[in-house]
Amino acid sequence: MRILALLSMLTMVFYTSVSYSQRNCNIYKGDSNCYKACLEVEKAVMHYAGDRSFQEHLLKSIKLCPEFDQAYFELSVNYAKRGLMHEWIKWINKAVEISPEDHLGWRGWYHWFFMNNYRKAIADIDSLDALLDYDIGSTGDGLYHLKILKGLCYKELGNSEKALQIIELFMDDEEYYQGSFDYLHLGVLYLETNQLNKAIKAFEKQNLYNEISEAYFYSAEVSLLKGNEAKAIKLLNMALKKYNEGLSMHDPYRQLIDEIYKVDIESKLELLTGKQ
């Protein structure tokens, strides 16, 4: 039973640990060492991420072809996920140095994702934007377009106006596609800048696309600001219901921007219902 449990865990970990889409190694066939280096990365990701064999294949890849960025990248990810950012930065910097167009976005995302290092995240996203003449793409987990993330970084730096400007501009772009929580963030930004009707519309749009507890929670905030306490309580109860159903913002690695917890809803409800 214990072995089965372990296998089940390892399988889960394996599927969540492959961090990068595999390259077609055949494109390196002109350079036999880099071709072999690419095959070593393919072997590495077949192992339990971070274990000795995984590391050995990647180090071998680097030795064979020091300019093969993917090996540095794969190593970097595994340090970051374990809270070892002083190691992460060495490996990811090397990957960025070799192939900035492939890794700047990822590095910027991780600056935010693991460290809330907003200035560095913005700098990397801007560098990538300056480098590419095509769409800079999304975060590695697909949760945000990097332009939305850039806006959110400004919000976290206390500049909600600029955040709103960046996000609205991007949402108007014909290439924009809705991300999981985009309208929730937009609504909270409207709320923070006292544009209450726009906020409500954004929360409604969020729930049409991806119904989450947070959209009800912040809608309740709007109702309170409009002086409608009864509606706020109703919305908070809805937020609690959705939270209990598992419909809320969640990421296994970190607390997301604008994410709320059960205690946030309950304490607000207690405050309001106790007051009534």
Partner 1 sequence: MKNVIFTLSIIILFLGCEKPLKEQHIPVHIGLIEYDAKKDTLGFEVCHEDLLSPYFHHLNISYEGEKPAMVKEYKNRFKPSDSLENGFITIRFIVNCKGKAGRFRVIQIDEHYNLKTFSDETVMQLYHITRSLKGWDIFERNHESYDYIRYVTFKIHNGEIKDIMP
Which residues bind to partner 1, rule: CB under 8 A?
1-2, 4-6, 8-9, 12-13, 17, 48-52, 55-56, 59-60, 63, 75, 78-79, 81-86, 88-89, 114-117, 120, 252-255, 261-264
Closest of 64, 71, 81, 79 to residue 22, by C-alpha: 71
CB of 118 to partner 1, least distance (A): 10
* Least distance (Å) between residue 274 CB and partner 1: 19
Contact 108, 124 (CB under 8 A): yes
Which C-beta is closer to partner 1: that of 135 or that of 141?
141
Question: In the numeric block, which tokens belong to residue 22?
Answer: 């595999």
Which tokens hold the place of 94?
A: 């090397």
Least gap, CB of 86 to partner 1 (angstroms): 5
Q: Nearest approach, Cβ of 253 to partner 1 (angstroms)?
A: 5
DSSP 8-state code for residue 249: -
Interatomic CA distance for residues 236 and 218, integer angstroms: 9
| Look-up of token digits 């909600």 | 160
Of 120 and 205, nearer to partner 1 (C-beta) is 120
* Minimum gap (Å) between residue 44 Cβ and partner 1: 12
CB of 238 to partner 1, least distance (A): 20
Considering beta carbons, is residue 124 or 147 the nearer one to partner 1? 124
Residue number with CB closer to partner 1 (2 or 275):
2
Q: How far is CA 150 from CA 93, 120, 167, 199, in A?
A: 20, 10, 8, 20
Q: State the greatest distance between any 2 C-alpha atoms of the chain, in Å, as a whole number.
A: 76
CA distances, 74 to each of 53, 91, 216, 249 (Å) = 13, 9, 39, 27
Nearer to partner 1 (CB atom), residue 4 or residue 174: 4
CB 204, min distance to partner 1, A: 27
Whose CA is closest to 70, among 49, 44, 31?
Answer: 44
User: Quick one: which of 152, 71, 72 has its CA closest to 111?
Assistant: 152
Q: Which is nearer to partner 1, 30 or 252 (CB)?
A: 252
Evaluate the CA torsion angle 169, 170, 174, 179 in order and state its sign. negative
**For partner 1, the closer CB: 61 or 219:** 61
